[in-house]
Copies of this chain bind each other. A is one copy, B any other.
Amino acid sequence: MNTFGNLYRLTSFGESHGAGIGGVIDGCPAGIELDMEFIQKELNRRKSGQSAITTPRKEADEVQFLSGIYQGKTTGTPIGFIIWNRNQHSADYDNMKEVYRPSHADYTYQAKYGIRDPRGGGRSSARETISRCVAGAIAKLVLNQYGISIQAYTSQVGDIQLEGGYNVYDLSHTEENPVRCPDPVKAAEMEKRIAEVKSKGDTIGGVITCIAQGVPVGLGEPAFGKLHAALGQAMLTINAAKGFEYGDGFEAPLYKGSEHNDIFYNDEGKISTRTNHSGGIQGGISNGQDIYFRVAFKSVATILMEQPTVDTDGEETILKAKGRHDPCVLPRAVPIVEAMTAMTLLDYLLLRKARD
């Protein structure tokens, strides 16, 4: 199942150390002007080697479009694309061919398929997410035309977390620091924490918060296509994601119905709510308020410390990983969260258009 979406669909392919990472976008509306600069900028936000706290693997991550575009515009036919792999150090993985890295996908892939590409994690590498950023960038270009915008940011690293919701921050500061956190003080703390952890060969996790604004009323397909269920699934397909919550999420149980309910009022002719505990979605359908949700990410499984494990023969052994790795996925996962959000919202927008 390497296809995501119903009407706006991404089929992705590629391994970390194969020829490249690519995909096919099917169902993109025709006549969309492809702003190549914007698309590349989105890819650059995800790419490695951006700062001292990401992996030093250097990849240009330039996308080559293969079809579906004529004179700079989408034609409605499938958009094939590829990002060639260039900076592979496959030899770094030689000692991992026969060894299962703890909390990685090595063992489960081997058990499921009976074969796996061990170089750089093969298909299970987070490098796979580049294709999502391409499809997400194009989705954003379409959503822009409908006045829908999406913004994600790092809201927690380890136990350092932002106080309060997205409303108390100026999100335009998000991209000003390598952690992608809109609070410069907390961002500095987070950056320091990541650097510390990295210096010991260890890794750390965190939480990303995402907001979608301008989403019209009526997106969401009950019963099994509830909008938050689609967003949740989308987020949980991102490598290292461990949890998803929207609106009050896991804090919702702390509120009684009388405290949690969002009271409707007439906002100069438009039905609005005084609070937004619901996170912009009621009964699985968007209600016109801001959609917001949070995604938890675990620490990266690959650490540069010795760990006991077993080899492919089941013999116990000690692994010391080499290679170039992120000490924390959060900064680079921010654009991926946005991309999956954009793809999901566009898909549901198209579904809604069909039903109008």
User: Which A residues fall within an 8 A CB radius of B?
Assistant: 1-4, 6-7, 9, 11-15, 18-20, 22-24, 26-27, 29-31, 64-68, 70, 73-80, 82, 100, 102-109, 111-117, 122-124, 128, 156-159, 197, 202-207, 217-218, 220-226, 228-230, 232-234, 236-237, 242-250, 252-258, 260-266, 269, 271, 273, 277-279, 282-288, 296-303, 305, 307-310, 314-316, 350-356
A1 to B252, CA, bound (A): 27
Contact A66 B13, beta carbon cutoff 8 Å: yes
Chain B residues closer than 8 Å to A222, beta-carbon distance = 1-2, 77, 105, 123-124
Q: Are A66 and B14 in contact (CB under 8 A)?
A: yes
Which of B13, B100, B206, B217 sits near A68, CB closer than 8 Å?
A: B13
A interface: dominant SS? mixed
Q: List 22 A-B contacts (CB under 8 A).
A: A1-B225, A13-B67, A14-B67, A19-B67, A27-B355, A66-B82, A70-B116, A75-B115, A77-B122, A107-B264, A128-B223, A158-B253, A158-B254, A223-B237, A226-B237, A232-B236, A244-B244, A257-B301, A260-B298, A263-B309, A266-B314, A353-B353
B257 contacts A77, C-beta separation under 8 Å: no
CB distance from A116 to the nearest CB of B (A): 6
| Given known A-B contacts A220-B108, A354-B354, A15 and B67 have beta carbons under 8 A apart | yes
B108 to A287, Cβ gap below 8 A?
A: yes
B266 lies within 8 A of A297 (CB): no
The chain B residue sitting closest to A255, CB to CB, is: B299
CB <8 Å contact, A310 and B264: yes
**How far is it, in angstroms, between the C-alpha of A269 and the C-alpha of B314 when the chains are bound?**
7
A261 surroundings in chain B (CB, below 8 A): 102-103, 301, 303, 307
User: With A and B bound together, what is the CA distance between A11 and B266 in angstroms?
Assistant: 37
Check if A277 sits within 8 Å of B103, measured CB to CB.
Answer: yes
Cross-interface CB contact of A76 among B113, B230, B310, cutoff 8 Å: B113
Tell which of B20, B236, B242 touches A248, judged by Cβ atoms closer than 8 Å: B242
Instruction: For the A-B complex with A77-B222, A158-B253, A266-B316 known, give 20 more contacts whose Cβ atoms are closer than 8 Å.
Output: A1-B26, A1-B223, A2-B26, A7-B355, A18-B66, A19-B65, A68-B123, A73-B115, A103-B261, A104-B283, A107-B282, A109-B285, A123-B222, A124-B284, A203-B258, A204-B257, A205-B260, A244-B245, A256-B299, A277-B298
Contact flag A252-B298 (CB < 8 Å), given A14-B80, A113-B75: yes
Contact status A115-B70, CB under 8 Å: yes
A11 to chain B, nearest CB (A): 4
